A and B are shown apart, each in its own frame.
Chain A
Amino acid sequence: MTVEPALEAVDLKVSFGAIKALDGVSLRVDAGQILSVIGPNGAGKSSLLNCLSGVYRPHSGRVLFHGRDITALAPHRRAALGVARTFQGIQSYASMTVRQNILAGFHCRMKTGLLDALLYWPRAQREEREFSARAEEIIEFLELEELRHTLVGELGYGLRKRVDLGRALALGPSVLVLDEPMAGMSVEEKADLARFVLDIRAAHNTPVILVEHDMEVVMDISDQVLVMEWGRAIALGAPAEVRIDARVINAYLGAEEP
């Protein structure tokens, strides 16, 4: 394996007071790979993603993007590099329409500055048209055509999660980080979303880091599974290996069985 990892985290540590949210977690994801992160609530999955996208700065450890150290980079600068992320729960822009949400996702690919925006002269108009067309491609891919002018705040949960994904796709991601994209969805919605994730990978070879509780989905679509407990990684491997790991069964899978 001489391939340079698309995104790599080395020995991340984050603590809140006496609580160690992350206690030396490392991971790497290569082009075309889907890496799932699983673990019980409070295992540190969201803290890990927050370190990757720059919302938290780890107390020690490093985050590398294609070999470049981005540990100290602000979230919006990472986004410009192509680290795109969706969130737990609903974090889309509720007062914008579906298309505006996706256009907002193009933010760091567009150039219109303050003066261009106020004057809305031909340069700004041209860019607006060009990116509207690109937004429509994403809308078509996610099958949201009928809803393009609907306010996102009026959409149901599953659709809003889909808009979240679209907004992240607008970034033209080199790494896609998805935080519980399927939580609270119906079986059909989960199947749709899993299909979208697989399609994205197939189309652009985009590496995906996925935090998800639904074990069936995780085992189905992941190449690698990282299992966390109490801020530590307790197992890493292919789904089939992780499934039979005694520590994992004990910590996570076993705990859920009746």
Chain B
Amino acid sequence: MLPSGVFFRDFAAEAAYLRTGPQRLALALFVLALVLLPALAGAYLVGVITLMFVTMIAVLGLQITVGMAGMINIGQSAFVGIGAFVSASLASKLGWPFWLTLPAAALAAGVSSLLFGLPALRIKGFYLALTTVAAQIVFPIGIARLPSAWFGGSSGLAVEPVSIFGHALLKQHELYYFNLAFVLLFALLAFNLKRTRVGRALIAVRDNDIAASVLGVNIGYYKLVAFFVGAVFAGVAGALLGYVVSYVTTDHFTLWLSIWYISMLIVGGMGSPLGAIFGTVVITALQESLHALGNAAAARFGSDFGAFIFPATNSVLGVLIIAILVFQPHGLLTGWNTLKAAYRIWPYRHHGG
């Protein structure tokens, strides 16, 4: 809903992301804040946010498969892992630069997702979700059993740092800016996809696949597109993760991580890339603050207490997620939109959907 009195004279103006002066100003300030952040925040926080950017790319990809196209994927972290190992192997063993390892990782993850996405042509819902769990199970076994000269086997791989014009990115704030650039790019791609013919076709497949096919959408093709694009995002996230943590093992890419990705998406709101962004930020913030709280408590009350507090923080996190879903079942994005609409029509009452 737009502020009152704003209208458009042509479709281009109407379709623009930033349609009013204040919106442009807000985005400019937001990007400025992101750019200035490393100068203001401590190294630990910068590191946490860098990892959050990586997670955000994976969740933005998941939003395409699960949110737009409506196919539950509980194997996203396996595709992140495939990207991470392919990129790590190419970077460390063949010395490929990042601008080659990233596309290779994206492609490897995308292509392997097609294998697990193929059942989507025949099955839906929980049955399909189960085949994506298969990806999650096959991935660590595959890495462990393949020749260790390829992917380091079960002991994992060290990753050569990103090098830009001969300068290795090792400092925390350098990695921050590197990942910031990618998260901005992939957020833009995700928003673009949603508002074009391809995005509408994906949503059509989710909303009503029979109607979509009768109205000209090749549903098999678009289901595979949804898996492929979602996994391409995951592959890029994996490659970036490798550069950030500089060592990859299969332990990073568990079913739990996939479930975290899904919960970020659900908490944020499935319908839009903005939901993925909201969810990633909120869940990361909750995880980190509870962790900090747990650390502080353990430091104060001793390590016996620490053994108790860490499982407890996970339970608190679970309760918080349930609370969010009880009060905002369609995700935080819906709440945000309602709030905006209420503000704009104030002092009248908000009603309707």
Using a CB–CB cutoff of 8 Å, the interface residues on chain A facing chain B are: 53-55, 74-76, 78-80, 84-85, 87, 91-96, 100, 103-108, 110-114, 116-120, 124-125, 127-129, 132-133, 151, 153-154, 167-168, 171
Contacts and interface: CB of A to CB of B under 8 A. Distances in A.
B200 interface: yes
Nearest to B188: A120
B213 A76 contact: yes
Interface residues of B, number: 35
Query: Closest 8 CB pairs between A and B?
Result: A79-B216, A108-B216, A120-B192, A117-B198, A117-B196, A93-B207, A112-B197, A132-B11
Contacts of B211: 87, 91-93
Contacts of B225: 114
B240 to A, nearest CB: 18
Interface string B163-200: 00000000000000000000000000100110111111
B353 A110 contact: no
Given A105-B215, A107-B215, A171-B215, A118 B200 contact: no
Contacts, number: 122
Contacts of A93: 203-204, 207-208, 211-212
Interface of B: 10-12, 14-15, 189, 192-193, 195-201, 203-204, 206-208, 210-219, 225, 229, 271, 352-353
A118 B193 contact: yes
23 contacts: A55-B210, A75-B213, A75-B214, A79-B216, A80-B216, A91-B210, A93-B207, A93-B212, A94-B207, A96-B207, A103-B197, A103-B200, A104-B204, A104-B215, A107-B200, A110-B197, A112-B196, A112-B198, A128-B196, A129-B11, A129-B12, A133-B11, A151-B353
A104 B192 contact: no
Contacts of B229: 114, 118
Contacts of A151: 353
Given A117-B197, A129-B12, A132-B15, A168 B215 contact: yes
A88 to B, nearest CB: 11
Given A107-B200, A107-B216, A118-B192, 11 more contacts: A74-B218, A75-B213, A79-B215, A94-B208, A104-B201, A117-B192, A117-B199, A119-B189, A128-B197, A132-B14, A171-B215
A187 B197 CA distance: 36
Nearest to A87: B211
A74 to B, nearest CB: 7
Contact of B353 (A79, A108, A154): A154
